[in-house]
Amino acid sequence: MKSARIAAVTGLAALPLAFTAPASAAETVNFHLDDINDTGSTATATLTATDNGSLHVEINGTGFTPNSPHAQHIHGEVGSKEFVCPPPSADTDGDGLISTVEGVPAYGGVMVSLTTKGDTSAKSGLALDRFPVADAEGNLNYERTIPADMLPEGIVDSLQQLHIVQHGIDVNGNDKYDLEALGESPFAKSLGVNGVPAEGTFPATCGEVTPVGSVDTGAGSTGGIEQLPLMAFGGVALAGAAGTVLLRRRFTESS
């Protein structure tokens, strides 16, 4: 009976479903990036897959450490749903901050480094000279079209499950990255780069996919009158009865 109903549903009033393409068919995907580590930074990102396999990325944010570069990446894994923005419990050393290393188990490794030019692989994850720089007010804007051959295979079909993370925080509030705040980045050091302030690498925002607009969760309301033909027939029959009674009365009167 259920399958019959579903069949009827798909056949009949399935207007909203007509637009329900497979999950992988999304061409434009929006991300809302919320702050982590109490940075107050937020951003929105729009990723658009184009026909030739390239990926257009636009990110606009506010509240970032001014005049400073902000590393930003697409994190996750093709085909995996199991990544999330880091919960408070990601702070495993309990220092009140989620470090780059502490965040990775939650949002996964770097898939794409959203650099302003050149390489976009994970190898450029800390290429601070090629990441966008926030202006004096802390606005951070980025736009780039990354060609297909610079993207990991399958990423365009997995966009919905991925996360975008932006880095660079200012813990001691002096509007710059410095070694005094959190010392040197052990993460950078592990990659062979010495002297990078940890402030420059700690995550500032993390974003997951946000749907556009409302949700079409209903068609064929139970409001209004159902079974209209039956009711109409009943009405006609009743009218007929009334008419017949009148007719009968006329016969009576005329007799």
Partner 1 sequence: MRHEPGTGSRRRARVSATLAAGVLALTGAVAIGVGVAGQEPAPPPAPQAAQPTAGDGASPTGDDSSPEPAQSPSSAEASPQGSQQKDKQKAEPSGPSGKQALGLDYSEPVSLRIPAIGATSSSLEDLGLNSEGAMTTPDDPDKAGWFTPSPPPGVPGTSVIAGHVTWNEDRSVFFSLGELRKGDRVEVTRADGVTAIFEVTKIGSFPKDEFPTEAVYQSTDYPALRLITCGGDYDEETNNYLSNVIVWARMVDSVKA
Question: By CB under 8 A, what part of segment 202-231 binds partner 1?
Answer: 206, 208-228, 230-231
Stretch that binds partner 1, among 10-18, 130-138, 141-149, 171-179 (CB under 8 A): 10-18
**Distance between alpha carbon 85 and the CA centroid of its chain, in Å?**
11
Q: H-type helices in 97-185, by residue range?
A: 100-107, 179-182
SS3 25: helix
CA distance linking residue 131 with residue 71, whole number of Å: 5
Asked if 66 contacts 135 with a C-beta cutoff of 8 angstroms, the reply is yes
Stretch that binds partner 1, among 64-72, 89-97, 132-140, 178-186 (CB under 8 A): 89-97
Which pair of tokens denotes residue 191? 């990659």
Neighbours of 252 (CB within 10 A): 8
Asked if 128 contacts 71 with a C-beta cutoff of 8 angstroms, the reply is yes
Q: Indicate which single residue of 82, 136, 149, 153 sits in contact with partner 1 (rule: CB under 8 A).
A: 82
In the region spanning residues 97 to 156, those forming contacts with partner 1, defined by CB under 8 A, are none
Based on CB atoms, which residue is closest to partner 1, 36 or 114?
36
Q: Indicate which single residue of 17, 129, 135, 143 sits in contact with partner 1 (rule: CB under 8 A).
A: 17
Shortest spacing between CB 175 and partner 1, in angstroms: 22
Q: Indicate which single residue of 32, 56, 130, 144 sits in contact with partner 1 (rule: CB under 8 A).
A: 32
In the region spanning residues 48 to 67, those forming contacts with partner 1, defined by CB under 8 A, are none
